[in-house]
Structure 1
Amino acid sequence: MVFLAVAIVGETFGTTCLKLSDGFRHPLYALVTAVCFAISLGMLTLALEHLSLGMAYGIWGGVGTLLTTLIGIVVWHDVFSAVVGLGMIAVAAGVALLSLGTQEAEERA
């Protein structure tokens, strides 16, 4: 799970730097984006040695989306509404159910 956590942080930081790169007009942020995405995918690859594909990718994508959305709301004042909040809850619930369901299936196997 440590590899997956690092993959999520790398993806989230990389996406944040992607925004800061302003369409790749700021080369330093563009470079940091590429490095973060490379680290993220490398760590995701290592996480897949211990986790199922669906579980790892679902958690990586879902938690990364939630964190990126929160950063957008807090840092760039992206729009937050009841629908956005409901969507975030739905993503979190989906990640939790995916994790729980995969864990139960692996315990039975």
Structure 2
Amino acid sequence: MSVEKAQNVSMTIVNPVAKVESKTITPAASLTSLEGKKIALWWNGKAKGDIALKTIAARLKKEYNVETELFTQGWPHGDEVYDRVIAAECQAAIATTGD
């Protein structure tokens, strides 16, 4: 087995920190009751998050007569997901995240 020695090698050192972009939003007022409300269920596509949201939806419907609508976030995502939830006139949202 032979080992070759590298000559004339150059390296560039870079800082891998990404530029942070933020957006300020005004949070919605807290609901005084869930009774009869329309709730957005926001699934980001992570494993079994949809199952958790379906379980939550069934419980909310049974206990508070809540209507739910499932929104699935694609990747990459942008503001269109927020726009769809707003257009659906939901009074609140429940989201799942995780790996």
TM-score (norm 2): 0.29
Q: Which has the larger share of helix?
A: 1
TM-score (norm 1): 0.28
Q: Which has the larger share of strand?
A: 2
Q: Which has the larger radius of gyration?
A: 2
Structure with more relative contact order (C-alpha pairs < 8 Å, separation 6 or more): 2
